[in-house]
């Protein structure tokens, strides 16, 4: 059973930075891909960033150039560095792990950006 736990969310001012962490119960190197998604208030869940087992990354256009996804295989942890935060980045952020045909999700961490 895969277990994901997000942390690092909080309240920040526009232009500030946050670093989210996703700790996994297993070796992240065994997953096909890891990613971050978010659900803004009143909206559907959307892709933020992904990283494959080979290290390839993909970002939503709205965060490209501001956010960086990375991983530390030794710590079985995936990170999302968020810079130049905007109020529209306010959302619950979820960690995702892809293994075979299944997707696993964490409980989410709240990020609130004030203007």
60-100 pLDDT, tens digit per residue, is: 999 999 999 999 999 999 999 999 999 999 999 999 999 98
Mean pLDDT computed over 24-48: 93
Supply the pLDDT for residue 26. Answer: 81
Contacts 24+ apart (CB under 8 A), 24-29: 24/76, 24/77, 24/78, 24/97, 25/1, 25/76, 26/2, 26/76, 27/73, 27/76, 28/71, 28/73, 28/76, 28/77, 28/78, 28/97, 29/53, 29/73
Q: What is the pLDDT of residues 14-27, one digit of tens each?
A: 999 999 999 999 88
Asked if the model's pLDDT at residue 1 lies above 80, the reply is no
User: What's the pLDDT band for 8 if we cut at 50, 70, 90?
Assistant: very high
């Amino acid at each position: 059973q895969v277990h994901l736990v997000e942390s690092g969310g909080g309240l920040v001012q526009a232009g500030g930075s946050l670093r989210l962490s996703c700790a996994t119960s297993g070796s992240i190197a065994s997953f096909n891909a890891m990613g971050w998604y978010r659900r803004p208030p009143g909206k559907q869940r959307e892709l933020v960033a992904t990283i494959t087992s080979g290290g390839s990354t993909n970002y939503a256009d709205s965060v490209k150039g501001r956010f960086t996804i990375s991983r530390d295989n030794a710590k079985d942890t995936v990170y999302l560095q968020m810079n130049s935060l905007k109020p529209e980045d306010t959302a619950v952020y979820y960690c995702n792990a892809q293994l075979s045909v299944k997707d696993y999700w964490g409980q989410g961490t709240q990020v609130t950006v004030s203007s």
